């Protein structure tokens, strides 16, 4: 199955970002992609008030993405914001197309490195998987990558984990990202397709607005392809037989005791 990772730099305008998504999906579909993945916060970048942006999964923004997916016969995975509790939003990964329309609410909120995502975002409570053409996919978002237990739970059923991110910049952060996406693939003996926001052309302060470095990582932790910090697209042909082979060779899921 061919999967496109579209490393974009979202603006603060959901309509502008929808135009970008439409163009990227058209190109990816033309290149044979079945799933087109966008990063966390594809609807709207961090660093602006998110409550006025948030919409339900049946709202106009997600519905427009659903129509784009249907037009091109693909499944689109993209980060957006849905209404949360107490005036907050939920950091949601939308999955739409091929009779799917669902969301994953980010479980682990980025209360680290001086940023407090929980001040404005309601945490999710359960892992989410979905199936396309007989392959099961798991979902994770940004800070989730620091929690191996989520990836092991997803790997109980999923062969591929789609990780969207808007990674915060800073000393050592790129190295941590590179290490973590490889470690989570190795922990779970699953493909990890990590799609990040590109490094923005201007500085938006302390908000985590992306560093790029999207990557396709094999079930044994090898980087198969990677982007640098600018906008771009990776096309990855995922072979789930390699997951089965990795799990026979390195049966960490079967051998775990805790």
Residue 27 is given by DSSP the state H
* DSSP secondary structure code for residue 79 in this structure: E
Does residue 106 carry a catalytic annotation? yes
Catalytic one of 6, 24, 44, 106: 106
Choice among 24, 40, 55, 117 that is catalytic: 40
* 195 has catalytic annotation: no
Whether 202 is catalytic is no
Using N-to-C axis directions, what is the helix angle for 14-30 and 60-72, rounded to 10°? 10
Region class of 109: left (phi > 0), else alpha (psi between -120 and 50), else beta? beta
Q: Are 81 and 43 in contact (CB under 8 A)?
A: yes
Put residue 218 in one of left, alpha, beta given phi > 0 → left and psi -120 to 50 → alpha: beta
Separation CA 93–CA 142 (nearest Å): 11
Q: In sequence order, what are the residues at sequence separation of 6 or more whose Cβ sits closer than 8 angstroms to the Cβ of residue 208?
A: 46, 110, 115, 142, 166, 167, 168, 169
Q: How many residues does the chain have?
A: 258
- The DSSP annotation for 167-214 comes to PPPSTTHHHHHHHHHHHHHHHHTSEEEEEEPPPPSS--TTS-------
Paired sense of beta strands 2-7 and 100-105, if any: unpaired
| Catalytically active residues, by annotation | 40, 106, 142
């Amino acid at each position: 199955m061919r999967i496109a990772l579209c490393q974009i730099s979202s603006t603060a305008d959901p309509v502008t970002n929808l135009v970008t998504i439409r163009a990227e999906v058209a190109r990816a579909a033309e290149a044979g992609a079945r799933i087109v993945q966008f990063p966390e916060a594809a609807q709207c970048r961090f660093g602006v008030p998110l409550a006025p942006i948030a919409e339900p999964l049946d709202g106009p923004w997600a519905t427009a993405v659903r129509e784009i997916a249907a037009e091109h016969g693909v499944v689109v995975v993209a980060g957006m914001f849905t209404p949360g509790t107490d005036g907050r939003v939920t950091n949601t990964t939308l999955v739409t197309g091929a009779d799917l329309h669902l969301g994953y609410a980010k479980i682990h909120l980025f209360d680290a490195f001086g940023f407090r995502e929980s001040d404005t975002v309601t945490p999710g409570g359960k892992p989410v998987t979905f199936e396309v053409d007989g392959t099961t996919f798991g979902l994770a978002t940004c800070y989730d990558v620091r929690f191996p237990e989520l990836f092991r739970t997803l790997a109980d059923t999923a062969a591929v984990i789609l990780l969207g991110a808007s990674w915060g910049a800073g000393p050592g952060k790129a190295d941590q990202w590179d290490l973590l996406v490889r470690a989570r693939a190795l922990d779970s003996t699953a493909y990890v397709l990590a799609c990040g926001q590109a490094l923005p052309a201007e500085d938006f302060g302390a908000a985590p607005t992306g560093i790029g470095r999207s990557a396709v990582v094999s079930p044994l932790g090898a980087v198969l392809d990677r982007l640098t910090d600018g906008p771009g697209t990776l096309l990855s042909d995922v072979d789930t037989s390699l997951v089965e082979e990795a799990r026979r060779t390195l049966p960490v899921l079967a051998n775990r005791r805790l």
